[in-house]
Structure 1
């Protein structure tokens, strides 16, 4: 395979801080754009099958987010540890961490697959969806779960590459994953595909086909990412068949970093599951509007996600080299830029809410309801962006517990109780549920600002040594 040049030295003082941040952020932002584009196209394809198909995908979505959160926690635990060792100049140790992460992913990925297959049988009935929706949701979740192992490998290698400073390879391969997903969607979902005057026969599997397309594209991408990791020049290049010795200290440190992230994601996702159950009592229209509005809102996450990823990498490597001032500079600029861009995206969300909803469905009732709740959410976007950026900084510093506690406070002490109260004491319905969500995100941003400005996170990394 053709060799490519190594990424820039992220700790090189001769390179302006802004250029280093942007070199990491833009591939991540572009990657997020591609992923959101695919999510939009995916939702529009399924949405063309009717409200029942859209509702079926929305039923397991929160649970899928939960399991994806565990995957990301696994990847973050090993990746931050690897980045810290790269920052300290211990390249051999960084490669050892990378290799151990890959071997550990086999067992964790297979366990997640088994959990997903079991949940697929019982979750739709528990959510309380209509009988027709339950059957479609079971099929969808089952085939998504079959792809959990390759999905974990894809997330792990992508995160390792980003935290090593090589975000472009992750961009290229995840971009390919998104393209494959769209192509497979056409052939798996629909019975016929029109290519100009040419009619191509598809499998016509509907909702189930969308899940199959996702799992197949993840499988292909994970294989290619593994080839990239072992076959190209990068700071953590490894050889799979080299002698490998399992180190308990690596596993303990990765778990110490990863468990709070997993708990944080679990806290949010379990709350989302309860949230979805509340929405499920409002009927298929509300369920479809809730799912599509969440999908539409995901476009606003693009700038903060890119800068949050950059902050995690740069703070981890800076503190690994024991340079607190550089870590602080990176964190401040990432947080400022990301929050400003998120605020702008919130404005765009408010203005173009009807257009976004109209892209996914032609159902007038779903569009009207989705537009209203999106405009409620738009006011919380600046605070939400700030929390995403602060979480990225905290994780890079090894402080993965603080995001967990902040998430608990927002989701379980405010969002869910307020949503329940508004649902049962007012006639707001879905609007009340989204007012509760916006309140949670605003509180989370305020808490993050206070915690961030204390700068105690600069010393958190010592706990994982």
Structure 2
């Protein structure tokens, strides 16, 4: 694996060399671009599923939209667990402790698999009753149950895929996970074409071609995504365990469990998991608010969230890069750079998402038209996307600053900020506005809440006075 510019700059950072402002910005950009593509590719998969299922009608779209917030909850919990180990790996690599990083990696992979089996049991256990709990119409509950059940059964695959990708990123390799995630999009298209639709004849370059299909509909969309995840998980694990320069397995290093490593991982992961539970729980409550507005509103809400994801996924990519960068800075004891890099990353994210928000405002009708042929869904979806476009820069502030704090091992306060903004601002305001303005009222509440959340995270970043001391404490613990 040839060293790229970001790997070279990270090496200079770990060695204590001076980095100019231009080099710091280049480091953030070089780390962010692959991470942005990885995040966008995951949303493109949702686009693919939504647009293909959208061809089956509003009921099929609504069945996925009904359980979407619940799948985000399970997906968020899988990702949260990985944070505690990937952040520690970044700290160890930053401190030059490769053996310690590999020890943490192995513990993380084994415990992540066990954790995902618990989530699988919970998800599968509630899958039949969940659509009814969420207030879904009887006409869509059966397909919603099938979709959520398959999603739950595939959670161990997703868990190991995310764990391997996060660990590769924490070692500074942002490019490979990005390439594999893009490949996963193409696999998802291929599997969906076969599983969602029945066998059919298509005209291609003047010739009739028969495309085989199983005609499974919504169930086929879930199976297609699971199969794509499985293929990429195998690839991701191979590169992590056998090809990664820093993390590949060594024969002389045996698997050992250290209470200190696991306790620290739990200390980092639990606030993130609670945050994901709170945020996704709020999304489920939001679904309950939207459900009485009708199937058009449910479908438009689901499609609009998917469409908006294309605009905020760059923020999550930059946040992932910031976690790696800040984590390695903390491990290397570079307290002179840590907070400055955090501000550069946050401002860069706000700039990128300001541009993406402007694009979303202009292209909203086209973005929704890709996902649904229904004119009523298109009009309603485009109108709420244009409301949300104004919140994107401040949303970026909260996303990237959260990534900065995670890299420093600070996850409790950001989780509290997210809880307050979601449950004390968005949900009460959405419940108040929905009866008066319908789905538009729900999205007005979302826009206001995201702006408030961004301000809270910027204030947290500005008034964090103990970064230097925190860096020194982390460095001292790593060396012992």
Name the SS of the counterpart of 1:202 in structure 2: strand
Does structure 2 conserve the Cα–Cα contact (< 8 Å) formed by 1:399 and 1:457?
no
State how far apart, in whole Å, the 2-side matches of 1:105 and 1:172 are: 23
> Which runs of no fewer than 5 residues in structure 2 stay unpaired?
none
2: CA distance between counterparts of 1:195 and 1:140?
Answer: 31
Structure 1-normalised TM-score?
0.95
**Contact 1:4 1:233 (C-alpha < 8 Å) held by counterparts:** no
Deviation at 1:455, TM superposition (A): 2.8
Question: Aligned residue for 1:32?
Answer: 39
Choose the corresponding residue for 1:79, options 63, 68, 86: 86
In structure 1, the partner of 2:455 is 446
Aligned length: 461
- What's the counterpart of residue 57 of structure 2? 50
Residue 346 (structure 2) pairs with residue 335 (structure 1): yes
Shift of 1:294: 0.3
Q: 1:400 to 1:362 in 2, by over 3 A?
A: same
The answer on 1:167 being equivalent to 2:174 is yes
Match status 1:190 vs 2:197: yes
- Residues 346-392 of structure 1 show CA distances to partners (whole Å, capped at 9, x for unaligned) of 11111111111111111111111111111111111111011111101
Q: Which moved more, 1:28-37 or 1:270-279?
A: 28-37
Distance 1:253 1:141, change over 3 A: same
Q: Do the aligned partners of residues 264 and 304 (structure 1) sit closer, same or farther apart at CA in structure 2, a change above 3 Å counting?
A: same
Asked if 1 retains the 8 angstrom alpha-carbon contact of 2:331 and 2:474, the reply is: no
Cα deviation 1:87-129 (Å, max 9, x = unaligned): 1111110110001001112211111111111121111001111
Query: TM-score, length-normalised on structure 2?
Result: 0.93
Alignment partner, residue 275 of structure 2: 264
Partner residue, 1:96? 103
Aligned twin of 1:247: 258
Q: Does 1:287 align with 2:298?
A: yes
SS in 1 for 2:8: coil
Aligned to 1:236: 247
2:152 aligned residue: 145
2:316 alignment partner, one of 301, 305, 315: 305
Comparing 28-37 with 248-257, which one deviates more in the overlay?
28-37
Q: Is the 8 A contact 2:168 2:244 kept in 1?
A: no
Distance 1:153 1:84 in 2: 21
Deviations 1:296-348 (A, max 9, x none): 10111132122111111111111111111211232121111110111111111
CA distance in 2, matches of 1:216, 1:170: 17
> Which ranges in structure 1 are unaligned for 5 or more consecutive residues?
none
1: CA distance between counterparts of 2:416 and 2:470?
Answer: 15
Q: Residue in 2 aligned with 1:215? A: 226
Q: CA deviation at 1:31?
A: 1.7
Contact conserved, 1:4 with 1:232, CA < 8 A, in 2? Answer: no
Contact preservation (8 Å) 2:319, 2:404: yes
Q: How does 1:198-213 map to 2 (within 5 A)?
A: 198-213=209-224
2:210 is paired with a residue whose SS is: strand
Q: Distance in 2 between matches of 1:463 and 1:129?
A: 49
